[in-house]
Structure 1
Amino acid sequence: ENIVKEYTSRGLILLGPETLGVPPKLHESIFRQEVEAYRAKERITAEVIPDILQITNAPGVREACETLLGENYAIVPFTHNTPFMSGSNDQHWHKDDNGPYNMRKQRHHQAVQLEMLYYPQAVKADMGPTATVPYSQYWTFNHEENHDNFAGADHLDFGYQINGMERVPISGKNSEYSLEDIVNQETAHDKRMRKAVSDLDWPHCQPFEVGPLAAGSVVLYSHNLLHRGNHRRDDWRTWKENPRFMWRFWLFRTTEPKRSETFLPTKWQGSQEDVLTRQSLESIHADTTAVWDYQFRWMRQGEQQVAGASSSDETKNVADLALQLRLKGDSNEPARIGAAYRLARHTARRQAISELARALHDDRENVRRAALYGLISVGVDASPVLLDAVDSPARWVRKAAAFGLGSAGAMTIQVVKALGERLLNDDSTYVRSVAADALGCLGRRIVAYSSNPQALMSKCADLLLQSLTQEVNRLSMDRAQQRSIKMVRPHDDCDVCEGIGFDYGQARYEPVRSVVRENALWAMVILASHGADKFGDELNHVVLAMQHVIEQDKNVFSVGLAMDVLERLASIHTNNRDVKVQHLQQLIKGVFAKTPIYSLEALVASGMSIEFAASEYARRSLTMT
């Protein structure tokens, strides 16, 4: 209950090394290998340091992640799962892109994506501990019309990037600041960072540095939390011999929450302060608790127990909440979102849903977005509204409705077909990509709640496979436009950021991306997490399609996702007597040989054993077992 409550509210969890269930020497070994690899200028991955797999799969890590994301969660392959170092410069505040390397995905309020940070060495308070803004995960900014936020991430104070402050060293031998100001965090950079957060005026949101930390600490935080890389404040002459490394992994949900048999409603009021951040929690607004309460119940009881629940404690009438939903300015973001959640649980249900439906078609992005989250918390009763909106002439409304149908739509063939129409025929790349992702979310819910999951799952898979035959990779936007990914803009073929292109130095790959293909494969990972038997006659087509991607696709992210699909089909909920599964298990090794590089952390999360992954695909052996 505590870890869910803290994650639901604060959005950040700290796991001490003593909770992981691995020997302390493992952290020392990883750090030593990392120093050697860094000095040898190797690209540091689990292939180079397979011992990291014993961290991502540590008993304490798996228990915490399964509590937050459910069983069989996945790790995004070939993405930011590489070490980060602290040095002389800061990043600006941002919420990470939800797809690999600045690919834009719609943000879930539900616990669907989180980030895992691992520190193999101790992190002192002056060694550049990760800077975060706890309690910021539910509030964000316009990215549809505001092109400062076009490139995947949502930015706070983008001017820090534009005017060059991000490139100016704060500490180190080239810093122009006094040592006193650096140590006391009184530089112009420090002050600007604090002011950016305080100017938001969001409830309980204050900067928090995650440190000091013992060697082997793990931090789990919402993918939607404001954070940034932080500069070091210790003696720069010691940095080379005393590096601060951090590994980062992106995790996502593939199963629905299970109903807790011991569930007790939580009380948000009454706490004196946050035990981790020391943030005062004496007074929490009803707008905030409405959001926290829904998310807590969803994680502990699942959709069917929380959707449709009304609150007799609501003190505002529907008309007043509808006005609140349309307040202007970033500082009123919590009020808008809170109004939407309060409408969703209002006892005047029909009137409240009608107001949310009207707001979904509003001219302003922040009103539409708040209404969308409200309709999702309404649950399947919002299906008629979303089915109507998914055919809107306005692409932003179609996009929102498609996302809502995946997260809360009725588990019916009508909803599946509506999403399929958007996936296969919509003119907007963004809408098609959201429809692909929505089919994965819908499939996850179908398995949990439908009485006949196989027929609907097979149809979802069929639509996703059709999409793969239609969509093509494009040269990544940063390469095509010859500018930083943070400065790229939409063009005639794509109205959403597809992210940075990578070939990782391999002739097999090219710096190409496709947001729709990648989201379709992401959705297939979700579907594959429920067993090969759920696909029925479609299984053969799925295997052949994934094999084709692995053998032919030039997009490394698509290949990694397709590998996860096959590994999950062969490893999770399998019937080893099934001839099709036996054939797949025999096929995989040969198919996987078609790629020169591997995302081992993702494959192990998909069911491959650590020992097999290390012996077959790693460049070094495990040093500890």
Structure 2
Amino acid sequence: MTRLSDAALQDFIIQGYRVVQPTAATELHGELHRQVERVLATGNPGNALIDRIPLLHQLFADPAVDAALTGILGPGYALCRHCHCHDLAPGTQSQNWHKDYPFGGNMRYHRPRYILMLYYPHEVTPDMGPTALVPGTQYYMDGPSDEVEGLPLTCAAGTVVITHYEIWHRATTNSSTRTRYMLKFLFTRTQERTPEQRSRWMPTGRHAALYRTLWRWYGGQAPALRPQRTVAALQEALQNPDERVRIDAYYDLGTLGAEGVPVLMAALKDESARRWQANLERGDFTNPSQLESPYGLAAAGAVAVPALVEALQDGDWWLRAGAANALGCMGIEAQKAATALAAALQDDSEWVCRNAADALSNMGQVPAAVPALTQALDDSRAMTPWSLSDAPLRENAAMALAKWRAPTAAVAALQQARQQSNEYVRSWAEWALDRRF
């Protein structure tokens, strides 16, 4: 398999998308186009799309597609249950700019733990309502204005576009006489550490600290340069109305390590109290702890873990939930918090529980947390649903155990979880058990 080049991965970090031309013969795409039309003639299959069109597995196994997915998500990536075929009929008007609903109702990560794979089985011309992206917007919660045209994905038959899950996008107006099909699939990273070593990269300008942080996460060399602004100036920048300015300030504070942690923790306490209600009222399944300070705390790394573990014991649920999200952003560097996160699965707040389970899924296998995650598979407490799922805590627990290759102590519970009514829990349990062999 050809490795994704450093330049290509750096471009993905900045732009948030990569166009891939599969090596498969054109006949595959023609046959997939015919099968899509045949299946949709009886109704959209939703998540059963791959079940109805097994030929899609040939596309997923294509060397060019696999190389891009492996380069971005690392080896052992997983195809998630959620998928959809978007059929844009002639005369359909343009959508508003949007992000897809947050996966599991969880934190929206800057680190590419989830990606969307968009597949076009036929040629897409400008009049067919091509998908449009706004490159570089995967790090923002504030969407583009309606005046932004974006980048239209006009392409040849069989083109695959891999995007960061959080990029802003929309369908444009289909003024042609043909239906435009786009098959959307969701993939996730299962290993936090990327084993391969990559070159030195020193981006400058806007978001330089963010890009360097991501490059180090990918195994690249990118020294954490001390920001030119003082701590006081960075703290003031956290109140700037421009989201881009705030993001840079958070990452610069994270670059300072232990020196920046007190400011970042104060920001987490302020943000979590001030924003949780507005997040829930957005109407798009946003996590109440979708905050900016966790990105800076994740950039600070292990030196921030003790303060975050202490915050997991705070009397305010919104701070506990925010601390869990920050630890989840950090991933494997926060492994020492796994015991505290496992205990948080029994928290009185559903959001603390959900965020803790999601955080554990990013940390690599931690045997001490397996019993708590196993118990969470049977948690019957009522949870606020997200999109198509009514069991987000159980789903997150099953996902964590799947990423951990179904530890022996969890096998019996995962076998039982395969019988649950929630299809996402079932699919994670099945995939977890399959990975053992």
- Shorter-chain TM-score category? 0.7 to 0.9
Query: 1:36 aligns to what SS in structure 2?
Result: helix
For residue 442 of structure 1, the aligned residue among 330, 336, 346 is: 330
User: 1:602–1:380: structure 2 CA closer, same or farther, 3 Å change rule?
Assistant: farther
Task: Look up the match of 1:96.
Answer: 99
Residues 300-323 of structure 1 show CA distances to partners (whole Å, capped at 9, x for unaligned) of 535xx535325xxxxxxxxxxxxx
Counterpart residue identity of residue 543, structure 1: T
Alignment of 1:109-128 (within 5 A): 110-128=111-129
TM-score (norm 1): 0.56
Task: Look up the match of 2:18.
Answer: 13
Alignment of 1:76-91 (within 5 A): 77-78=81-82, 81-87=83-89, 88-91=91-94
Q: Which has the higher contact order (CA 8 A, sep 6+)?
A: 1
Residues 84-120 of structure 1 show CA distances to partners (whole Å, capped at 9, x for unaligned) of 122323344524156149x584562x44443221223
Query: 1:306 aligns to what SS in structure 2?
Result: coil
Query: 1:608 aligns to what SS in structure 2?
Result: helix
Distance in 1, matches of 2:425 and 2:183, equals 14
Counterpart residue identity of residue 418, structure 1: E
Distance in 1, matches of 2:57 and 2:427, equals 6
User: 1:26–1:435: structure 2 CA closer, same or farther, 3 Å change rule?
Assistant: farther
User: 1:17–1:59: structure 2 CA closer, same or farther, 3 Å change rule?
Assistant: closer
The answer to whether the 8 A contact 1:94-1:227 is kept is yes
Residues 120-148 of structure 1 show CA distances to partners (whole Å, capped at 9, x for unaligned) of 3333443222112224445663xxxxxxx
Counterpart residue identity of residue 227, structure 1: H
Distance in 2, matches of 1:562 and 1:113, equals 17
Residues 10-51 of structure 1 show CA distances to partners (whole Å, capped at 9, x for unaligned) of 322101021xxx665554454343323311125332343344
The alignment status of 1:548 with 2:413, answered yes or no, reads no
Task: Look up the match of 1:156.
Answer: 145
Please state how far the C-alpha of 1:546 moved relative to its aligned partner. 1.9
Distance in 2, matches of 1:116 and 1:359, equals 35
Task: Look up the match of 1:575.
Answer: none
Distance in 2, matches of 1:7 and 1:607, equals 32
The answer to whether the 8 A contact 1:106-1:403 is kept is no
For residue 212 of structure 1, the aligned residue among 128, 131, 155 is: 155
Q: State, as a whole percentage, how many aligned pairs show the same letter.
A: 22
Counterpart residue identity of residue 211, structure 1: T
The answer to whether the 8 A contact 1:386-1:404 is kept is yes
Residues 155-175 of structure 1 show CA distances to partners (whole Å, capped at 9, x for unaligned) of 523xxxxxxxxxxxxxxxxxx
Query: 1:519 aligns to what SS in structure 2?
Result: helix
Alignment of 1:248-397 (within 5 A): 248-253=184-189, 255-256=191-192, 258=194, 261=197, 263-265=199-201, 287-288=205-206, 290=208, 294=212, 297-298=215-216, 300-301=218-219, 306=222, 308-310=224-226, 344=227, 346=228, 352-360=230-238, 362=239, 364=241, 366=243, 368-379=246-257, 381-392=259-270, 395-396=273-274
Please state how far the C-alpha of 1:587 moved relative to its aligned partner. 4.3
Task: Look up the match of 2:39.
Answer: 37
User: 1:53–1:525: structure 2 CA closer, same or farther, 3 Å change rule?
Assistant: farther
The alignment status of 1:523 with 2:324, answered yes or no, reads no
User: 1:130–1:594: structure 2 CA closer, same or farther, 3 Å change rule?
Assistant: same
User: 1:2–1:375: structure 2 CA closer, same or farther, 3 Å change rule?
Assistant: same
User: 1:405–1:253: structure 2 CA closer, same or farther, 3 Å change rule?
Assistant: farther
Residues 199-251 of structure 1 show CA distances to partners (whole Å, capped at 9, x for unaligned) of xxxxxxx6321122222x2101233433211222322xxx3xxx432122344
User: 1:90–1:42: structure 2 CA closer, same or farther, 3 Å change rule?
Assistant: closer
Distance in 1, matches of 2:354 and 2:44, equals 27
Please state how far the C-alpha of 1:413 moved relative to its aligned partner. 5.2
Distance in 2, matches of 1:439 and 1:97, equals 23
For residue 401 of structure 1, the aligned residue among 265, 277, 293 is: 293
Please state how far the C-alpha of 1:441 moved relative to its aligned partner. 2.5
User: 1:382–1:255: structure 2 CA closer, same or farther, 3 Å change rule?
Assistant: farther
Task: Look up the match of 1:565.
Answer: 400
Task: Look up the match of 1:65.
Answer: 69
Residues 468-521 of structure 1 show CA distances to partners (whole Å, capped at 9, x for unaligned) of xx235xxxxxxxxxxxxxxxxxxxxxxxxxxxxxxxxxxxxxxxxxx6554343
Please state how far the C-alpha of 1:589 moved relative to its aligned partner. 2.9
User: 1:595–1:11: structure 2 CA closer, same or farther, 3 Å change rule?
Assistant: same
Query: 2:52 aligns to what SS in structure 1?
Result: coil
Task: Look up the match of 1:228.
Answer: 170
Counterpart residue identity of residue 401, structure 2: L
Counterpart residue identity of residue 535, structure 1: P
Residues 376-421 of structure 1 show CA distances to partners (whole Å, capped at 9, x for unaligned) of 3445542232234444497249954345324434356523423413
Query: 1:17 aligns to what SS in structure 2?
Result: coil
The answer to whether the 8 A contact 1:257-1:300 is kept is yes
Task: Look up the match of 1:2.
Answer: 7
Task: Look up the match of 2:349.
Answer: 471
For residue 589 of structure 1, the aligned residue among 408, 415, 436 is: 415
User: 1:517–1:388: structure 2 CA closer, same or farther, 3 Å change rule?
Assistant: closer
